[in-house]
Structures are given as C-alpha cells and as structure tokens.
Amino acid sequence: MNYNLNTDQKSSTRAAVKKMLQFMASEKKELYLAFFVMMLNAGITMLTPYLIGYTIDHYIQAGQYQGVLHFAGLLLVLYIIWAGTEYLQTKLMGGVGQRMLYSLRNAVFSKLQQLPVAFFNQNKSGDLISRINSDTDKVNQFFSQSLMQFVDSIFTMLGAAIFLISINVKLGGASLAPAVAILLFVQLVSAWVKKKNAASMKSTGDLSAEIQESLQNFKTIITFNRRDYFRRRFDEANEKNYQSAIKAGLANNVFTPVFTLFSNVAQLIVLVYGIYLITQGEFTIGLLISFIAYVQNFYLPLRQLAALWAGFQAAMAAWDRIAVILQLEVPPAITDKVPLSASGDRPLLIFDNVSFQYPDGKKVLHNINFSMEAGKTYALVGPTGGGKTTTASLIARLYDPVEGTVLLNGHDIRNYPEQERTEAIGFILQEPFLFSGTVKDNIIYGNAKLKDSSKEQLLTMLQEAGLEQLLARFDQGLDTPVNAGGEGISLGQKQLLAFIRAVLRQPALLILDEATANIDTVTEQQLQEILERLPEETTRVIIAHRLNTIENADEIFFVNAGSLQMAGSLDNALHLLLEGKRES
C-alpha cells in the first residue's frame, strides 16, 4: 500500500472546518459562554456610537452639559464592561485552543502508532515532526486566537450594517458598496493564498527532514570530510524554504492594503454624501459623526479580517497536511482471535504463494512457498539485496505481502492480536535501536511480563537464562546509562542488549538478522550456547553472511532475485551464493 504523504490532497473549507470542530466537541459549555460574551461585547460596540451621536444632537448643541456628563459616565461604564468581556473571551478561547491542540496532536500520534513500518519507510521523520508540531500549532492558533476575533468581527460588521441602513438607507447603501468589491477580491485570491501557504509548510517539513537526516549521519559526514556536502544540502533546502516563505508572506499580506483602500473609499463616500444630506436638511451633524463611527466599525473589522483570513487559509493548508495522516487506512483489524500454541500436525510458519514489492519499486519476492517446523533452526543465505531481510520482515509482520498469505500456526498472521504476535516472534535487527534510559529499561522494553520486575528479580532471570555473562560487558550492569539512539556504547554492545531483550521474551520464533555481525568470535560462541538453552519448541531463523554461523542449521534456504529455494548442505549453499554474486 502506498503511504506517501507528498500528495496534493485538499479538502473543502466546509468539510475541513466541520472536521476540526469535532476536536472541540467537548468544549461546548466554554464555547457557548464565549459566544455569549462575544455578543455582549459586540452589542456594547454597536451602542456607543449611537449614544455619542445622540449626545451631540440633544445635549452638546443645546448646551445642556449636565446631560453630557451623565452620558459620559454611562459610556465609561460600558467601556469597562467591554474590557472585562474582552479579557474573559480571550481567556476562554485560549483554554479551548490549548485543549484542542492537545486532542489533535494525540489523534495524529495515535494514528501514527497504528500505521505499519511501510509508512515510515516512505516518509521522512522530519516532515512528520513538522506536521505534529508546526502544522497542528497553526490550526490551534487560528482556533484559540483568531476564531473568536473572526466571529466577533462578523457580528460587529453585521450590527454596524444594520445601524447604517436603519439611520439612512441611501447613505447606508452607498457606504456598503465598496464591501461588495472586497468580497469579490477575496473569492478570487483565497485559493492562491492557501496554495502558497501549503507550499511554505511543505518546504518547512523538507527543511526539518534535511536537518534531521544530516545530524543523524554527522559521523559519516565527518569521516569523509564532507561538511561541504552537508552545507550545500542545507543551503538548498533553506533557500527553498526562504523563497516559499517569502511568497506565502506576500500572499498573506495581500488582503490588508486592498481592504484598507476600500475602507478609505467608503469613509470618503460617507463624508461627501453626508455633508450633502446635511445641506439639504435631511441629516444632522450628530448622526453624521455616528455614521462615520459605524462605517469604521464595519470596515475596521473587515481590515482585521484581512489578516485573519490569511491565517485561516494557513490553518486550512496545515489541516490538509494533518488530515492526510488522519485519513490513512490502518491495516485490517483482527477478525477472530486464534490460539497461538503450536500444533504437532502442522508447521509453525507457512509462506503460501507470497509476493512482495515496495511502493513504486520492483517486486522483491515472487510467489514464495516454504514452511518452518517448530523447534528447528533455519538459515537464510543469499547475496546482498537478494530479499533475506524482507523475508524475515514478512515473518515478523513488519510488512504484509501484496499477494499470498503468511500463516502462523495454521492461521493468517494478520488475525493475531499485536500483543500475542509480538510476544511469539522475537526479532533481533542488524542495527538495533535503543532508547534513552538504562540497560534495564532497554532489556524490559515491550515485555509486559517484566515491566514490574525489580532489579533483583531481573538479575535472577538473567542468570537462569545464562545471560549474566553478557550483562558483565556493561560497566554498571543494569544501571548503565544509555543515551538516545544508543550513543555512548558500541554497536556490539547494542547487539548484545537487543539479544538479551529478545531471549528474555522466550518467543516461539526468534529471528536473528546479522545479529552477531559486530560481535567477536568468543562472544558469538557464548550467544550460540545461550540460544541452545532456549525451549526445545523455539524456532530460530538466522540471517548471516558468515557461513560458520549457520553450519548447524537444520535447513538452509537460498534467497536471491525474488525466489527462495532449499540449499540443502552448507557446501551447496556456498556454491549458490557464489553463483548469485556472479550473476549480480
């Protein structure tokens, strides 16, 4: 299945907003309160210009300054209430936005945990980090900071428009005419703005991925003295990000000057036409002042909407990048629970006409058929790139075949619960990954039976399994610190830790993919002795280039060019391997 996120998937604005609002479903109480406060705030904003105009016409022009003081006190009270509602609105929506961000990031991360290894092979981790951190934050910024301003501006504009038409229909219509041109402009450029923001976010993700890849491989860069290569790759990604950010910035700021222009035109219309109506006796000075204030109350929020609308388009572009993850199909769920205990009348593992290919690549395996009996040792040999690790990955269900079926104890391996499958199949990778913590933390990682074990209990288990001699390779034993990624300990020690971690699980099937490639011969012999102490029913699958590692295997499979065949003896396996290398 293709899990590549670099698609041009876009959602409609209505569908996107509806989906995003689902993450705020639990915030209804706070949202209703925020909307009430916002309407109260808008009502005060609408009332004050009318009170100012009324005061001018009925008290200032008449010289009744006592009434002016009374209305000034009333306006002061309204302004204080307005300030309080503005603060409460900001506080409410700030909390709603942060909780939405928390839920959204949890949803994205939960989806990532459900996706197969193929997804992570097709997408750069730096880009995924950018989607989880940066893109979700853009969505949150709109909902926590801009949404209420957006709605508040709409209410304020609507109220101002009603007052303008109510005071004088002709002057009100003339003052609102420039708004029609603004709406047409918004319709024309919104898609372009969203596109530029999407390009900017993609380049940010690419830059993050480039930095992470370079830092992860910095030792190699130093070894080959290719800082210039690192610098050039970074400069290219940074330049691309810079150019796309400039274009997005220009797009986001295109609304403000246009909105301001039409706002000034509207005020000019009101001033000229209003003075004309006053000379005709159809208008008063107080109403004209109120009218200008209402025009400002209409067009000022409209100018604010220019910036908010650009932010909205950025949020929509960010949402498209998030939604493409949330909408990915998860591999088929469990259809039935099946027993995992091995049966003597059937093989433990069967490949039934299995074929596999990586997305956008050629087939790696073609109609593979073989079986493995419980308690036996099998070896997979073949030239580099022949398909050995891919075969092992299918056994562990790190991948699913594109054709055919992998049967574990007679049942489709996809029908087993993940917990049972991972307990039954151990996999020691060629390049094991360790987590920051201690040796003990890494040994018990993912092992539900050992997660609550004390240090003394764990030491006893290690002695019983014959693993205490391997633990002695670490200066502080179980308390030896391990840095992120296993930095600070040798690759051989990493493989020893991965070996200990796998053996303690006592899996029904243990896969060793070049598990001793970085270990000395003496230690390798110790590991072989430990493997022999595993339960008799444990099946071992060994991938190794050193043929002495597989000389005691019960059966040897030769994997090359998409096919698998029984090699028979070790000498025949060596012959096939040499022939395969000549062909490649």
Q: Give the pairing of strands 563-566 and 555-560.
A: antiparallel
Question: How many other C-beta atoms lie within 10 A of the C-beta of residue 475?
Answer: 10
Q: Which residues contact 159 (CB under 8 A, 6 or more apart)?
A: 42, 43, 45, 46, 297
Q: Are 540 and 512 in contact (CB under 8 A)?
A: yes
Other beta carbons within 10 Å of 423: 19
Quick one: pLDDT at residue 307?
67
Q: Is the four-CA dihedral 119, 124, 129, 130 of positive or negative sign?
A: negative
Q: Report pLDDT digits (tens) over 345-392.
A: 678 899 999 999 877 677 889 999 999 998 898 988 888 778 888 898
Domain 349-583 annotated CATH 3.30.70.360? no
Q: How far apart are CA 38 and CA 87, in angstroms?
A: 11
> pTM score, two decimals?
0.61
Would you state the pLDDT for residue 182? Answer: 80
Residue 429 CB burial class (10 angstroms; 0-12, 13-18, ≥19): buried
User: Residue 214: which pLDDT band, with cuts at 50, 70 and 90?
Assistant: confident
d(CA 573, CA 561): 15
Asked if residue 265 has pLDDT above 80, the reply is yes
Q: Does the pLDDT at position 548 exceed 80?
A: no
Contact call for residues 321 and 135 (beta carbons, < 8 A): yes
Tell me, what's the pLDDT at 350?
A: 93
Q: Which of 344-353, 429-438, 513-522, 539-548 shows the lowest per-residue confidence on average (mean pLDDT)? A: 513-522
- What average pLDDT does the chain have? 79
Q: Please provide the DSSP assignment of 275-289 as one string.
A: HHHHHTTS--HHHHH
Amino acid 580: pLDDT? 58
Mean per-residue pLDDT for 499-513? 86
Condensed to tens digits (0 to 9), the pLDDT of residues 415-446 reads 888 888 888 888 887 777 778 888 888 888 87
pLDDT of residue 407: 92
* Eight-class DSSP state of 23: G
Q: Report how far residue 31's alpha carbon sits from residue 38's, in angstroms, rounded to the nearest whole number.
A: 10
User: Per-residue pLDDT tens for 177-213?
Assistant: 888 888 788 778 877 887 888 788 788 878 877 777 7
Check whether 215 has a pLDDT greater than 80.
no
Q: What is 224-261 written as a DSSP string? A: TT-HHHHHHHHHHHHHHHHHHHHHHHHHHTSHHHHHHH
Q: Which residues contact 520 (CB under 8 A, 6 or more apart)?
A: 492
Residue ranges of domains in the chain: 20-326, 349-583
What are 215's two structure tokens?
A: 């830092």
Model confidence at 339: pLDDT above 60: no
Is the pLDDT at 584 greater than 60? The verdict is no
Mean pLDDT of 527-532: 79
Name the most confidently modeled range: 35-44, 467-476, 569-578. 467-476
> Same CATH topology for 20-326 and 349-583?
no
Question: Is residue 125 classed as helix, strand or coil in its secondary structure?
Answer: helix
Measure the CA–CA gap between 470 and 532, rounded to whole angstroms. 16
- Please give the pLDDT value at position 306: 67
| Cβ contact 326:189 at 8 Å | no
Q: Torsion over CA of 230, 233, 235 and 238, rounded to 10 degrees?
A: -120
Work out the average pLDDT over 520-532. 77
> Which of helix, strand or coil describes residue 296?
helix
pLDDT of residue 353: 93
Between β-strands 539-543 and 425-428, what pairing exists: parallel, antiparallel or unpaired? unpaired
Tokens 């012999």 map to which residue? 525
Report the C-alpha gap between 234 and 454 in whole angstroms.
47
Neighbours of 8 (CB within 10 A): 8
For residues 256-284, average pLDDT? 81
CA–centroid distance for 134 within its chain: 9
The pLDDT of residue 540 is above 80: yes
- Tell me the torsion sign for CA atoms 433, 435, 439, 444: negative
For 82-96, 273-287, 336-350, 411-425, which range has the lowest pLDDT when averaged over its residues?
Answer: 336-350
pLDDT at 583: 56
With b meaning 16 or more CB within 10 Å and e meaning fewer, what string describes 107-135?
A: bbeebbeebeebbeebbbebbbebbbeeb
CA distance 128 to 192: 25
Q: What is the pLDDT of residue 519?
A: 73
Residue 545 is predicted with a pLDDT of: 66
Tokens linked to 181? 């041109």
Stronger pLDDT, 429 or 21, i.e. the higher one? 429
**Does residue 37 register a pLDDT over 70?**
yes
* Unique residue bearing structure tokens 């295997």: 553
Whether CATH 3.40.190.10 fits 20-326: no
% pLDDT > 70, the chain: 85
Model confidence band, residue 343 (pLDDT cutoffs 50, 70, 90): low
Match 């705030």 to its residue by tokens: 41
Q: Which of 237-246, 286-295, 298-307, 349-358 has the largest mean confidence?
A: 349-358
Give yes or no for a contact between 396 and 511, defined as CB atoms under 8 angstroms apart.
Answer: yes
pLDDT, mean of residues 145-155:
73
- Long-range contacts (CB closer than 8 Å, 24 or more residues apart) made by 468-471: 469/526, 470/496, 470/499, 470/500, 470/523, 470/526, 470/527, 470/530, 471/439, 471/500
The pLDDT of residue 7 is 58
Question: Which residue spans within 251-373 are E strands per DSSP?
Answer: 349-357, 363-372
Return the top range by mean pLDDT from 38-47, 149-158, 221-230, 316-325.
316-325
What tens digit of pLDDT does each residue of 271-285 get? 888 888 888 877 777
- Which of 50-59, 125-134, 332-341, 485-494 comes out lowest in average pLDDT? 332-341
User: Residue 406 — very low, low, confident or very high, per pLDDT cuts 50/70/90?
Assistant: very high
Cβ-proximal residues to 121 (8 Å cutoff; 6+ apart), any chain: 358
